Amino acid sequence: MSETTGMILEWSIKAAVVTVICLIGFAYTTYYERRFLARIQVRIGPNRAGPWGLLQPVADGVKLIFKEELIPQKAYKFAFMLAPILTMMPAIIVMGVVPWGTEVQMFGRTVELGISNDLNVGILYILSVTSIAVYGIVLAGWSSNNKYAMLGGLRSTAQMISYELALGLSFLPPIMLAGSMSLADIVRGQQDLAWYFIPLLPTAIVFFIAVLAEVNRSPFDMPEAEQELVAGYHTEYSGMKFALFFMGEYVKMFSMSAVFSTLFLGGFAGPWVDQLPWLGPIYLLLKIIFCLGLMIWIRATLPRFRYDRLMGFGWKVLLPFALINIVLTALIITLFGL
Partner 1 sequence: MSIYNPLPILKGLWTTLKSVVERPVTLQYPEEKRVMVERFKGRHHLRRYDNGLEKCIGCALCAAACPADAIFVEASENTDDVRFSPGERYSSTYEINLMRCIYCGYCEDACPTQAIELGKDYELSYTEKRNSIITREGLLDQVPDGGAPTPQKVEPGKFDRSIPDMPDPK
* Binding region for partner 1 (CB under 8 A): 36, 38-44, 297-298, 300-302, 305, 309, 313, 317
Helix or strand or coil: residue 304? Answer: coil
Shortest Cβ 55–partner 1 spacing (Å): 17
CA 191 to the chain's CA centroid: 23
Which C-beta is closer to partner 1: that of 28 or that of 220? 220
> Closest Cα partner for 34 from 55, 63, 65?
55
CB of 300 to partner 1, least distance (A): 5
Phi, psi of 111 (to 5 degrees): -105, 130
Q: What is the 3-state secondary structure (H, E, C) of 50-92?
A: CHHHCCHHHHHHHHHHCCCCCCCCCCCHHHHHHHHHHHHHHHH
Nearer to partner 1, 14 or 299 (CB): 299
How far from chain centre, in Å, is Cα 35?
20
Q: How far is the CB of 313 from partner 1 (least distance, A)?
A: 6
| Strand 103-106 to 109-112 pairing | antiparallel
Question: What is the closest distance, in whole angstroms, from the C-beta atom of residue 329 to partner 1 in the complex?
Answer: 21
Nearer to partner 1, 52 or 278 (CB): 52
Are 69 and 240 spatial neighbours (Cβ–Cβ below 8 Å)? yes
Q: How far is the CB of 310 from partner 1 (least distance, A)?
A: 9
| Residue (70 or 302) nearer to partner 1, CB | 302
Closest CB to partner 1 among residues 72, 202: 202
Q: How many angstroms separate the most distant Cα atoms in the chain?
A: 64
- Return d(Cα 144, Cα 138) in angstroms, integer: 10
Report the residue number, 187 or 296, with the smaller CB distance to partner 1: 296
CB of 254 to partner 1, least distance (A): 22
Q: Are 31 and 53 in contact (CB under 8 A)?
A: yes
